[in-house]
């Protein structure tokens, strides 16, 4: 199951990875259907995508409360959870960590620095000590009690964590492809955020390095998502088909 908040922040490259595993993707688009009530019972995992709203805007976006309850349910059911950007902040909030405005925005390309635990993690170990990631956020979260910090950047201490064995929060956007990044750079509200951030970057400076950085990030992203999807497993129908084909041979 996938929670989407705005059209501009889809699954990106993660979509093809999920489909390649044979999973059906059940989207809950809260921008279109803010009153939807998702039921996780029949699904193998949960992915919560990014969005321009913040955890503390639950009165303005009541669906955030719905999402928090769904994340709690997924954790109780021990189902794999991946929170990306806003999704990571929602996961951290469910786990009791503070979430709020960061001292500065991170927008554009940054070097992700893994922790010792990150370099041993089943999902992120292949990143090594340093990996390029795309960012677009102005909020951050504390490390939840009982969680393991997996990565940081020079400008933001909390970038990735694992809770238990199969719940992950990523502040960064490894799912981003060139079309998604270009869309963000062209959207007026995103451009205004970039201009107001005061971080010494503009659309052109980000565009200038995107192709080269994407070439470095995307193979790492593919491995990361494949590793996470290993936790989700394969649909029962695909496993049955594979078993039948093996018997036929």
Q: What is the mean pLDDT of the chain?
A: 93
| Residues 6 or more apart in contact with residue 63 via CB below 8 angstroms | 30, 34, 35, 36
CA distances from 127 to 50, 94, 118, 130, 152 (A): 22, 27, 9, 7, 13
Reference 1, options 32, 38, 51, 36; nearest CA is 38
- The pLDDT tens digits for 4-13 are 999 999 999 9
- The pLDDT tens digits for 165-193 are 999 999 999 999 999 999 999 999 999 99
Sign of CA dihedral 183, 217, 141, 145: positive
pLDDT at 71: 98
Give me the mean pLDDT over the 211-232 stretch.
Answer: 97
> DSSP assignment, residue 19?
H
> DSSP assignment, residue 229?
H
Give me the mean pLDDT over the 43-69 stretch.
Answer: 96
Give, for 167, the enclosing helix (H) or strand (E): strand 167-170
User: Quick one: what percent of the chain has pLDDT higher than 70?
Assistant: 94
pLDDT at 234: 80
| Distance separating alpha carbons of residues 194 and 202, to the nearest angstrom | 7
With beta carbons less than 8 A apart as the criterion, state whether 17 and 221 touch.
no
pLDDT at 143: 98
pLDDT at 107: 98
pLDDT over threshold 90, residue 239:
no
| Distance separating alpha carbons of residues 1 and 227, to the nearest angstrom | 17
pLDDT over threshold 90, residue 236:
no
Q: β-strand 2-4 against 27-29: which pairing, if any? A: parallel
- The pLDDT tens digits for 57-113 are 999 999 999 999 999 999 999 999 999 999 999 999 999 999 999 999 999 999 999
* Length of the chain (residues): 249
Give the SS3 label for residue 58: coil
Give, for 163, the enclosing helix (H) or strand (E): strand 160-163
With beta carbons less than 8 A apart as the criterion, state whether 160 and 171 touch.
yes
Q: Give residue 235's pLDDT band: very low, low, confident or very high (50, 70, 90).
A: confident
pLDDT at 237: 52
Higher-scoring residue by pLDDT: 247, 148: 148
pLDDT over threshold 50, residue 15:
yes
Q: Give residue 150's pLDDT band: very low, low, confident or very high (50, 70, 90).
A: very high
The structural domains of the chain, ordered by start, are 2-248 (3.40.50.880)
Give me the mean pLDDT over the 116-137 stretch.
Answer: 98
pLDDT over threshold 50, residue 156:
yes
């Amino acid at each position: 199951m996938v929670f989407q908040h705005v059209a501009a922040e889809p699954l990106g490259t993660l979509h093809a990875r999920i489909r390649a595993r044979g999973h059906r993707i059940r989207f809950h688009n809260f921008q279109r259907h803010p009153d939807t009530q998702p039921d996780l019972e029949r699904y193998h995992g949960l992915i919560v995508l990014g969005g321009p709203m913040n955890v503390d805007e639950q009165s303005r976006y009541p669906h955030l409360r719905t999402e928090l309850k769904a994340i709690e349910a997924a954790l109780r059911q021990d189902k794999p959870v991946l929170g990306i950007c806003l999704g990571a902040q929602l996961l951290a909030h469910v786990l009791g960590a503070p979430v709020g405005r960061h001292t500065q925005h991170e927008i554009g390309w940054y070097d992700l620095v893994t922790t010792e635990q990150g370099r041993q993690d089943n999902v992120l170990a292949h990143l090594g000590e340093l990996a390029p990631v795309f960012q677009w956020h102005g909020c951050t979260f504390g490390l939840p009690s009982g969680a393991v910090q997996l990565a940081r950047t020079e400008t933001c201490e909390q970038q990735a964590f694992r809770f238990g064995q199969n719940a992950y929060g990523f502040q960064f956007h490894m799912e981003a492809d060139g079309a998604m990044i270009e869309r963000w750079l062209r959207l007026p509200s995103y451009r205004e955020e970039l201009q107001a951030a005061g971080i010494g970057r503009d659309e052109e400076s980000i565009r200038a390095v995107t192709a080269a950085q994407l070439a470095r990030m995307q193979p790492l992203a593919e491995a990361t998502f494949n590793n996470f999807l290993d936790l989700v497993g394969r649909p029962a129908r695909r496993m049955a088909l594979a078993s039948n084909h093996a018997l036929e041979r």
